[in-house]
Amino acid sequence: EADIYQTPRYLVIGTGKKITLECSQTMGHDKMYWYQQDPGMELHLIHYSYGVNSTEKGDLSSESTVSRIRTEHFPLTLESARPSHTSQYLCASSGTTGGLDTQYFGPGTRLTVL
Amino acid sequence: GQSLEQPSEVTAVEGAIVQINCTYQTSGFYGLSWYQQHDGGAPTFLSYNALDGLEETGRFSSFLSRSDSYGYLLLQELQMKDSASYFCAVRDTGGFKTIFGAGTRLFVKA
Protein backbone atom coordinates (compact mmCIF):
# COMPACT_ATOMS: atom_id res chain seq x y z
CA GLU A 1 0.00 0.00 0.00
CA ALA A 2 1.41 3.36 -1.07
CA ASP A 3 1.73 5.95 1.68
CA ILE A 4 2.11 9.41 0.28
CA TYR A 5 0.30 12.37 1.75
CA GLN A 6 -0.43 15.88 0.63
CA THR A 7 -1.81 18.81 2.57
CA PRO A 8 -3.89 20.78 2.19
CA ARG A 9 -6.26 18.95 -0.13
CA TYR A 10 -7.98 22.19 -1.13
CA LEU A 11 -6.75 25.76 -0.86
CA VAL A 12 -8.31 29.06 -1.90
CA ILE A 13 -6.10 32.12 -1.48
CA GLY A 14 -5.71 35.65 -2.73
CA THR A 15 -3.19 36.93 -5.25
CA GLY A 16 0.25 37.73 -3.87
CA LYS A 17 0.14 35.29 -0.95
CA LYS A 18 2.99 32.93 -0.20
CA ILE A 19 1.96 29.31 0.14
CA THR A 20 3.62 25.98 0.79
CA LEU A 21 2.14 22.70 -0.35
CA GLU A 22 3.23 19.78 1.78
CA CYS A 23 4.12 16.31 0.59
CA SER A 24 5.36 13.39 2.67
CA GLN A 25 5.97 9.74 1.93
CA THR A 26 6.73 6.87 4.26
CA MET A 27 8.10 4.41 1.70
CA GLY A 28 11.72 5.53 1.91
CA HIS A 29 11.76 6.44 -1.77
CA ASP A 30 14.71 8.47 -3.00
CA LYS A 31 12.93 10.05 -5.94
CA MET A 32 10.11 12.53 -5.54
CA TYR A 33 8.23 14.68 -8.02
CA TRP A 34 5.79 17.56 -8.30
CA TYR A 35 3.35 17.69 -11.20
CA GLN A 36 0.82 20.31 -12.22
CA GLN A 37 -2.36 19.11 -13.88
CA ASP A 38 -5.42 21.01 -15.07
CA PRO A 39 -8.71 19.04 -15.15
CA GLY A 40 -8.74 16.50 -17.96
CA MET A 41 -5.31 17.52 -19.15
CA GLU A 42 -1.83 16.05 -19.13
CA LEU A 43 0.64 15.96 -16.27
CA HIS A 44 3.38 18.57 -16.34
CA LEU A 45 6.54 17.89 -14.33
CA ILE A 46 7.57 21.03 -12.46
CA HIS A 47 10.20 19.76 -10.00
CA TYR A 48 11.89 16.53 -9.06
CA SER A 49 14.47 15.26 -6.63
CA TYR A 50 16.87 12.32 -6.69
CA GLY A 51 17.41 12.40 -2.96
CA VAL A 52 18.22 14.61 0.00
CA ASN A 53 19.68 18.00 -1.01
CA SER A 54 19.06 17.30 -4.69
CA THR A 55 16.39 19.19 -6.64
CA GLU A 56 15.88 19.85 -10.33
CA LYS A 57 13.44 21.88 -12.39
CA GLY A 58 11.11 19.92 -14.60
CA ASP A 59 9.80 20.58 -18.06
CA LEU A 60 7.22 23.20 -17.18
CA SER A 61 8.47 26.66 -16.31
CA SER A 62 7.35 27.33 -12.80
CA GLU A 63 7.52 30.18 -10.34
CA SER A 64 7.72 27.72 -7.49
CA THR A 65 10.61 26.34 -5.48
CA VAL A 66 11.16 23.05 -3.66
CA SER A 67 13.44 21.71 -0.98
CA ARG A 68 14.48 18.21 0.07
CA ILE A 69 16.04 18.32 3.50
CA ARG A 70 14.64 14.95 4.56
CA THR A 71 14.01 11.86 2.44
CA GLU A 72 10.33 11.73 3.31
CA HIS A 73 9.47 15.41 2.85
CA PHE A 74 9.29 17.44 -0.39
CA PRO A 75 7.43 20.74 0.04
CA LEU A 76 6.56 23.08 -2.83
CA THR A 77 6.50 26.84 -2.23
CA LEU A 78 4.89 29.60 -4.28
CA GLU A 79 6.38 32.94 -3.18
CA SER A 80 3.61 35.03 -4.71
CA ALA A 81 0.54 33.23 -5.92
CA ARG A 82 -1.23 34.38 -9.08
CA PRO A 83 -4.52 33.32 -10.73
CA SER A 84 -2.46 31.48 -13.40
CA HIS A 85 -1.29 29.13 -10.63
CA THR A 86 -4.82 27.81 -10.20
CA SER A 87 -4.51 24.09 -10.86
CA GLN A 88 -4.14 20.70 -9.22
CA TYR A 89 -0.70 19.88 -7.83
CA LEU A 90 0.24 16.22 -7.55
CA CYS A 91 3.18 14.92 -5.58
CA ALA A 92 4.66 11.51 -6.37
CA SER A 93 7.51 9.32 -5.24
CA SER A 94 9.18 6.33 -6.80
CA GLY A 95 11.58 3.56 -6.01
CA THR A 96 13.20 1.14 -8.41
CA THR A 97 12.79 -2.57 -7.89
CA GLY A 98 14.06 -4.99 -10.54
CA GLY A 99 14.11 -2.24 -13.14
CA LEU A 100 10.52 -1.29 -12.47
CA ASP A 101 10.15 2.31 -11.37
CA THR A 102 6.59 2.82 -10.25
CA GLN A 103 5.38 6.25 -9.31
CA TYR A 104 3.00 6.52 -6.38
CA PHE A 105 0.89 9.64 -6.37
CA GLY A 106 -0.55 11.57 -3.47
CA PRO A 107 -4.20 12.66 -3.52
CA GLY A 108 -3.30 16.11 -4.82
CA THR A 109 -3.83 19.70 -3.72
CA ARG A 110 -6.43 21.65 -5.64
CA LEU A 111 -5.31 25.28 -5.57
CA THR A 112 -7.47 28.26 -6.48
CA VAL A 113 -5.92 31.73 -6.56
CA LEU A 114 -8.40 34.56 -6.66
CA GLY B 1 12.44 16.19 -28.66
CA GLN B 2 10.70 13.71 -26.45
CA SER B 3 7.07 12.90 -27.01
CA LEU B 4 4.43 10.26 -26.45
CA GLU B 5 1.38 10.09 -28.69
CA GLN B 6 -1.89 8.51 -27.68
CA PRO B 7 -5.50 9.10 -28.79
CA SER B 8 -7.30 11.79 -26.85
CA GLU B 9 -10.55 9.91 -26.49
CA VAL B 10 -11.98 6.41 -26.91
CA THR B 11 -15.57 5.24 -26.42
CA ALA B 12 -16.65 1.62 -25.97
CA VAL B 13 -19.59 -0.34 -24.58
CA GLU B 14 -19.73 -2.35 -21.40
CA GLY B 15 -18.39 -5.87 -21.86
CA ALA B 16 -16.36 -4.99 -24.94
CA ILE B 17 -12.61 -4.93 -25.50
CA VAL B 18 -10.73 -1.69 -26.11
CA GLN B 19 -7.13 -1.00 -27.12
CA ILE B 20 -5.35 2.26 -26.33
CA ASN B 21 -2.23 2.82 -28.39
CA CYS B 22 0.90 4.74 -27.49
CA THR B 23 3.85 5.63 -29.68
CA TYR B 24 6.89 7.25 -28.20
CA GLN B 25 9.94 9.18 -29.27
CA THR B 26 12.37 9.63 -26.41
CA SER B 27 16.12 10.01 -26.03
CA GLY B 28 16.27 6.98 -23.75
CA PHE B 29 14.00 4.11 -22.92
CA TYR B 30 13.76 2.19 -19.72
CA GLY B 31 10.30 0.75 -20.07
CA LEU B 32 6.71 1.72 -20.87
CA SER B 33 4.20 2.12 -18.05
CA TRP B 34 0.47 2.71 -17.94
CA TYR B 35 -1.43 4.70 -15.33
CA GLN B 36 -5.16 5.09 -14.72
CA GLN B 37 -6.72 8.27 -13.38
CA HIS B 38 -10.37 8.73 -12.47
CA ASP B 39 -11.87 12.22 -12.49
CA GLY B 40 -10.76 14.12 -9.42
CA GLY B 41 -8.37 11.37 -8.40
CA ALA B 42 -4.65 10.73 -8.62
CA PRO B 43 -2.98 8.49 -11.22
CA THR B 44 -2.47 4.90 -10.16
CA PHE B 45 -0.03 2.44 -11.68
CA LEU B 46 -1.49 -0.28 -13.93
CA SER B 47 1.31 -2.07 -15.75
CA TYR B 48 4.87 -1.95 -17.01
CA ASN B 49 6.71 -3.41 -20.02
CA ALA B 50 10.48 -3.40 -20.21
CA LEU B 51 10.76 -6.11 -22.86
CA ASP B 52 8.82 -6.83 -26.05
CA GLY B 53 5.64 -8.78 -25.67
CA LEU B 54 2.46 -8.95 -23.74
CA GLU B 55 2.04 -8.58 -19.98
CA GLU B 56 -1.29 -9.64 -18.50
CA THR B 57 -2.79 -8.49 -15.23
CA GLY B 58 -6.37 -9.63 -14.85
CA ARG B 59 -8.63 -7.82 -17.32
CA PHE B 60 -5.79 -5.50 -18.35
CA SER B 61 -2.91 -6.40 -20.66
CA SER B 62 -0.10 -4.26 -21.99
CA PHE B 63 2.05 -4.82 -25.05
CA LEU B 64 5.38 -3.41 -26.14
CA SER B 65 7.35 -3.41 -29.39
CA ARG B 66 10.63 -1.59 -28.88
CA SER B 67 11.59 -1.80 -32.54
CA ASP B 68 8.40 0.10 -33.43
CA SER B 69 8.52 2.41 -30.39
CA TYR B 70 4.94 1.36 -29.80
CA GLY B 71 2.84 -0.10 -27.08
CA TYR B 72 -0.79 -0.53 -26.18
CA LEU B 73 -3.05 -1.13 -23.24
CA LEU B 74 -5.82 -3.67 -23.73
CA LEU B 75 -8.85 -3.61 -21.49
CA GLN B 76 -11.20 -6.60 -21.64
CA GLU B 77 -14.70 -7.13 -20.30
CA LEU B 78 -15.11 -3.41 -19.91
CA GLN B 79 -16.98 -2.16 -16.88
CA MET B 80 -18.48 1.26 -16.20
CA LYS B 81 -15.84 1.83 -13.52
CA ASP B 82 -13.15 1.63 -16.23
CA SER B 83 -14.25 5.06 -17.46
CA ALA B 84 -11.15 7.12 -16.71
CA SER B 85 -8.08 8.65 -18.30
CA TYR B 86 -5.20 6.36 -19.20
CA PHE B 87 -1.65 7.66 -19.49
CA CYS B 88 1.30 5.92 -21.07
CA ALA B 89 4.69 6.88 -19.64
CA VAL B 90 8.35 6.27 -20.44
CA ARG B 91 11.33 6.51 -18.13
CA ASP B 92 13.92 8.75 -19.79
CA THR B 93 17.68 8.42 -20.10
CA GLY B 94 19.18 7.88 -16.69
CA GLY B 95 15.83 6.67 -15.43
CA PHE B 96 15.30 9.67 -13.20
CA LYS B 97 12.32 11.20 -14.93
CA THR B 98 9.16 9.70 -16.24
CA ILE B 99 7.62 11.33 -19.30
CA PHE B 100 3.84 11.06 -19.52
CA GLY B 101 1.63 11.11 -22.60
CA ALA B 102 -1.30 13.52 -22.75
CA GLY B 103 -3.72 10.80 -21.71
CA THR B 104 -6.61 8.97 -23.36
CA ARG B 105 -10.04 9.54 -21.95
CA LEU B 106 -12.06 6.30 -22.03
CA PHE B 107 -15.83 6.48 -21.92
CA VAL B 108 -17.63 3.20 -21.22
CA LYS B 109 -21.32 3.19 -22.20
CA ALA B 110 -24.02 0.84 -20.99
* Residue B107 binned pLDDT confidence (cut-offs 50, 70, 90): very high
Whole-number Cα distances in Å, A48 to A74, B18, B94:
9, 34, 14
pLDDT (0 to 100) of residue A80: 94
Q: Which residues of B touch A36 (CB under 8 A)?
A: none
Largest CA distance in chain A: 46
Determine how many CB atoms are found less than 10 A away from the CB of residue B83.
Answer: 17
- B35 → chain A, closest CA residue: A103
How many Cβ pairs within 8 Å bridge chains A and B? 55
Sorting pLDDT into bands at 50, 70 and 90, what band is B38? very high
pLDDT tens per residue, range B65-84: 999 999 999 999 999 999 99
So what's the pLDDT on residue A95? 78
**Under DSSP, is residue B95 helix (H, G, I), strand (E, B) or coil?**
helix
Dump pLDDT digits (tens) for B2-37. Answer: 789 999 999 999 999 999 999 999 877 888 999 999
Of A42, A102, A106, the CB nearest to B42: A106
Judged by a CB distance cut-off of 8 A, whether residue A23 touches chain B is: no
What's the whole-number mean pLDDT along residues A103-114? 95
Does the beta-carbon distance from A100 to B43 stay under 8 Å? no
pLDDT band, very low/low/confident/very high, at A2 (cuts 50, 70, 90): low
- What whole-number distance in Å separates Cα of residue B15 and Cα of residue A50? 42
Q: How many Å lie between the alpha carbon of A16 and the closest alpha carbon of chain B?
A: 27
A21 near A111, Cβ under 8 Å? yes
Best A56, A102, A110 residue to mutate vs chain B (most B CBs within 10 Å): A102
Average pLDDT value over all residues in chain A: 91
Looking at residue A98, what is its pLDDT? 58
Average pLDDT of span A29-46: 91
Cβ A31–B33 below 8 Å, yes or no?
A: no
Rounded distance, CA A24 to CA B72, Å? 33
